[in-house]
Amino acid sequence: MTGRGEAERARRLLRAVPKAALGTILRAAGGRPYVSLVSVATAHDGAPLLLLSDLADHVKNLEADDRVSLLLDGTGEVEDPLAGKRVSLVGRLARTDRASDRARYLARHPAAALYADFGDFAFYRMSVERAHLVGGFGRIHWLDGADLLVAPQPALAEAEGAILEHMNEEHREVVQLYAQRLLGLEGADWALTGIDPEGCDLRMGHLTARLELEAPIGDPESARTALVDLARRARQRHVGES
Mean pLDDT is lowest, of 102-111, 131-140, 188-197, for 131-140
Write the pLDDT tens digit of every residue in 70-106. 999 988 777 788 778 999 999 999 999 999 999 999 9
Tell me the C-alpha distance between 169 and 33, whole Å: 46
3 state SS for 190-226: CEEEEEECCEEEEEECCEEEEEECCCCCCCHHHHHHH
Q: What pLDDT, on a 0 to 100 scale, did the predictor assign at position 218? A: 95
Cα first-last separation, the chain: 33
203 — pLDDT class (breaks 50, 70, 90): very high
Taking the CA atoms of residue 101, residue 104, residue 109 and residue 110 in that order, the dihedral angle to the nearest 10 degrees is 100
CATH 3.20.180.10 boundaries in the chain: 154-236
Q: How many residues does the chain have?
A: 242
Strands 86-95 and 191-196: unpaired
Write down the pLDDT at residue 79. 76
- For helices 154-170 and 99-108, what crossing angle results, to 10°? 30
Q: Which helix (H) or strand (E) holds 89?
A: strand 86-95
Kindly give the pairing relationship between strand 32-39 and strand 67-73: unpaired
Spatial separation of the C-alpha atoms in residues 62 and 75, rounded to whole Å: 28
pLDDT of res. 27 = 80
- pLDDT tens digits, one per residue of 138-188: 678 999 999 999 998 999 999 999 999 999 999 999 999 999 999 999 999
Identify the three-state secondary structure at position 177: helix
**Helix (H/G/I), strand (E/B), else coil: 227:** helix
Mean of pLDDT values over 4-32? 90
pLDDT, residue 239, reads: 52
Pick the CATH number of 154-236 from 3.20.180.10, 2.40.110.10, 3.90.180.10, 3.40.50.140: 3.20.180.10
Whether the CB-CB separation of 80 and 193 falls below 8 Å is answered with no
How confident is the model at residue 22, as a pLDDT?
A: 98
pLDDT band at 242 (very low <50, low <70, confident <90, very high): very low
Per-residue pLDDT for 137 more than 90? no
Q: Mean pLDDT, the chain, as a whole number?
A: 92
For residues 231 and 228, give the distance between their C-alpha atoms in angstroms, rounded to a whole number. 5
What's the pLDDT at 240? 47
In this structure, of 28-32, 56-60, 152-156, 157-161, the range with the lowest mean pLDDT score is 28-32
Task: Specify the fold of 4-148.
Answer: Pnp Oxidase; Chain A (2.30.110)
More confident residue, 241 or 222: 222
Using CA atoms, how far apart are residues 141 and 139, in angstroms rounded to an integer?
Answer: 7
Cβ burial 172-181 (10 Å sphere, 16+ → b, else e): eebbbbbbbb
Instruction: Give the model's pLDDT for residue 238.
Output: 66
pLDDT for residue 84: 80
- In the chain, CATH 2.30.110.10 covers 4-148
